[in-house]
Structure 1
């Protein structure tokens, strides 16, 4: 019998979330960011559900190859840009747009004599990760515009560091910086990530770059995706494979971190950190069993976890246990693990079965 751990991907939820993004900025084009294997949801299936997007954003050329191999013809933008001159031939072969964020890329393009390639030019407006410093940005733009091997329609872009915090002055500062150093003849721009799409209308330019929101993931601390009208695109579940009666005072799991306060039933579920569920989860973190919350007890191990069945005396082997999804936001689990929802969905391992619904 196959292991019961399953990640169900809700295709209608993905389409709903794309529509939600479009409704927030109806005059903008939408890039669906599908990097990290579609935020752990599966690149090809996510692209199928989000085929209505105007372009896809990826972090690796191999992702672009996968998309082209299954027939997607939308524009694809390589968000981290090319690393070496040999990449340029692949970008042309795949009709992939590249981000240019550093002088070393300008130098490689200056030595290149191939057919025109499409470019998004990135400014570091304050995040200090990738991008040209603002004062160098106009000159980088001018140099690209003069290159015969670069398409004339250059998109100017930047990335926000704190757009998930409404009212944060850093986002106001980044917007002002970008506009101050934007060349006068630059007519197509992209600033808004998921959080900015939903919370910073001033950032809505010609292109949006939507990532986590497309998967129903929260774009603000302390809130869930549903607070923004989004639907979770993944339900992670498994089944009970054992129930046990344990006496008061007995210890459960590795290192015996949980001590039974009374005689009680526990359930053993077929999921653990080998499937991508976080080992460092806070004691008492909930799971959904037969639609009701039950606390996880003891340490999560590689293949198994245990839950308290005192509130569900009818629970039996084979009952479904939901770890996150509808009724149990992944953001709640992420908070209990001291991380963010993006990391949890991206951490699902290959032994988990994926199904579409």
Structure 2
């Protein structure tokens, strides 16, 4: 490793806000609080958030991750099971009740809001168009709030063109919370142009954290030789940040889960680096990546603040009697 006098200079544009959002913070808190109150194991259906570091940390505390409720052994039916932040179809809590399982629903309140918006459309006699990505847990959960056939998934403008409604005067749309703001706006324009009577949700569906992180990336990406987004490959909001950075002018934009994934041999000579993190990526990995660049460059950090987030989503009443220690909170906040 070269000594500091030979390190090339690097300006690191660090996005703020970045990383954990209030919904992710709440979901992780729920698992930690459940472990403290009820002891291990606590079962978690699907990754609580899309981040391997977080999942492995909770596994070390005693969480057991499953995909379906029938994976819970009979002798553990008195153990709590937590539903992930992405939301679940109505069939999942119904199945839990049928199995006499005690469940805690960690669905992000902003995802729950989309569920309510979709159900409101149905109550008013509208067919629902859901703008989102097929197979994503949030999309599966939202579609699962309503009877089969009540929702049509729209991913592209080709889907808009191909859709043939029974009644074009009775349509409503909602969106996945973690989409590209620009892409979604284009799809909404296409829907409104083809179906002028289509009704929007009563409030914005894309969540504040997704919007804020995309805006921060837009502000910092132009002229960056490399833009790194910390996040998992199955994290929708993280992948959208990579796309936003490319569109905003970064010469190269990459998604990495850890510093070990940085392709040093491929990035070439760089003088300006942009750095952000998806809403489920802990700050400790951001620090790890900054340290990796400090080892190779003479780094100057330029903090780019575009918004201040004060949102806080409280956990359910069943867990509010449990206190978290300072070390618990450091884990929940993603700093250890």
**Structure 1 length-normalised TM:** 0.30
Larger radius of gyration between Structure 1 and Structure 2? 1
**Structure 2 length-normalised TM:** 0.32
Greater relative CO (CA pairs within 8 A, separation 6+): 2
- Higher strand fraction: Structure 1 or Structure 2? 1
- Higher helix fraction: Structure 1 or Structure 2? 2
